[in-house]
Amino acid sequence: MPNDLLVQSVRPLGGDLSDILILAGRIVQGPAPAGVPILDGGGRIALPGLVEAHTHLDKSLIGLPWYRNEVGPRLIDKIENERKVRRTLPIDPRRQSERQALLSVAHGSTFIRSHVDVDTECGLAGIEGVMATREALADVVAIDLVAFPQSGLLVRPGTVELLERALRLGAETVGGLDPCAIDRDPRGHVDTVFRLADKFGRGVDIHLHEPNDMGAFSMELIIERTIALGMQGKVMISHAFCLGMPDATVVDPLIDALAEARIAIMTTASASRTVPPLKRLVQAGVVVCAGSDGIRDTWGPYGNADMLERAMFVGQRYNLRRDDELTLALDVITTGGARALNLEGYGLTPGCGGDLVLVDAATIAEVVAQRPRPRTVVKRGHVTVREGMLEP
Ligand SMILES: [Zn+2]
């Protein structure tokens, strides 16, 4: 019986011991029909599938020889270095995206949003590679693609047309990048991104690294376009470092406006930048999700695709110590990601898709702090990872 599974003796989100029955890939109320395969949970905690809400599957260097990083400090240094390195290093987007996606799955992610470079040098090679991986791994992970103008949009003529082609090929979301700092035409950049989203009926996810007032200005433009086009609930701003600036007279109205426009915020809980204020955002009703961003690429050497580790980074960066606060860190990598990506049927209750992760811990706080391994992972009723090992 494909996609049928009885997961016995688990504690959903650390609650009471119970069974979870999955039939035809959906969680249903028991009892289980005869013959349904059984997975013994052994009293472990069941979490819904983890959500990697922001990464770059097309350009990880996982499995390749160590890359010696001698890149300059500015964003543009990293962008230009990457385009140069890509000409010589064997970064095959199809192979690299599969390597990273499987690593994510082994750690418990069942959903991944990947930004994928689209530029006038690599064209659509990244999009085609990640789409092939998405198809090959459809039974183990759901992948959502953002057509991402990493090298700029208006500064590199031809990029807008390539983004259109990427959207026609099947990328779900229109990406953008630092409207002031990279394109140097903030209104032109934001208008172009939203025009594409409107034309193709897609969402928007913009990398916004710009600090302070510059970032706030770009963010205001994004909010304006979101409301003007009725795109509430379909827009994400990734990083949003400007929200970490101390000036409440600027930040507070922005947070209120984000809540009203139902724009989600993605944080990596960066250790080296100002970060958006997690608790204030959540209190204001803004959806916050998290991602690994680049994992072992020419931008940086770090990352292991473990979203429970990301939750721990969230806890550390935002000074979350109490058990109830650590629950917030888990929310960011589970329900926060699901809401930000508009995933339907997310969770562990009847009617939800049968995606879950089993971890050996007493409480959610322990899960976040200890990131227990090995993990067992289920995607739509299929066991995809058993005790840390990917199923063949
Ligand atoms: Zn990114």
Distance from residue 294's CA to the centre of ligand 1 (Å): 6
pLDDT band for 32, please (50, 70, 90 cuts). very high
Distance from residue 96's CA to the centre of ligand 1 (Å): 16
Q: Which residues make Cβ contacts (< 8 Å) with residue 135, sequence separation at least 6?
A: none
Give pLDDT tens digits for 239-265: 999 999 999 999 999 999 999 999 999
- Please tell me the predicted confidence (pLDDT) of residue 294: 96
Distance from residue 53's CA to the centre of ligand 1 (Å): 10
Q: Would you say residue 87 has pLDDT above 90?
A: no
Distance from residue 113's CA to the centre of ligand 1 (Å): 10
Distance from residue 186's CA to the centre of ligand 1 (Å): 19
Q: Residue for token digits 């994400």?
A: 236
Of the candidates 212, 331, 240, 241, the residue with the CA atom closest to the CA atom of residue 283: 331
Distance from residue 57's CA to the centre of ligand 1 (Å): 10
Determine if the pTM surpasses 0.85: yes
Mean pLDDT of the chain: 96
Distance from residue 338's CA to the centre of ligand 1 (Å): 18
Distance from residue 364's CA to the centre of ligand 1 (Å): 28
Distance from residue 298's CA to the centre of ligand 1 (Å): 12
Q: Would you say residue 96 has pLDDT above 70?
A: yes
Query: Quick one: 271 exposed, middle or buried, by C-beta within 10 A (0-12, 13-18, 19+)?
Result: exposed
Q: Would you say residue 36 has pLDDT above 90?
A: yes
- Please tell me the predicted confidence (pLDDT) of residue 331: 98
Distance from residue 115's CA to the centre of ligand 1 (Å): 7
Average pLDDT over residues 345-369: 97
Residues of the chain by 3-state class (helix, strand, coil), percent to 5 = 35, 25, 40
Distance from residue 30's CA to the centre of ligand 1 (Å): 42
Rounded alpha-carbon distances, angstroms, from residue 27 to 31, 112, 329, 349, 381: 12, 21, 25, 7, 8
Beta bridge partners of residue 358, listed in sequence order:
46, 376
Q: Would you say residue 2 has pLDDT above 90?
A: no
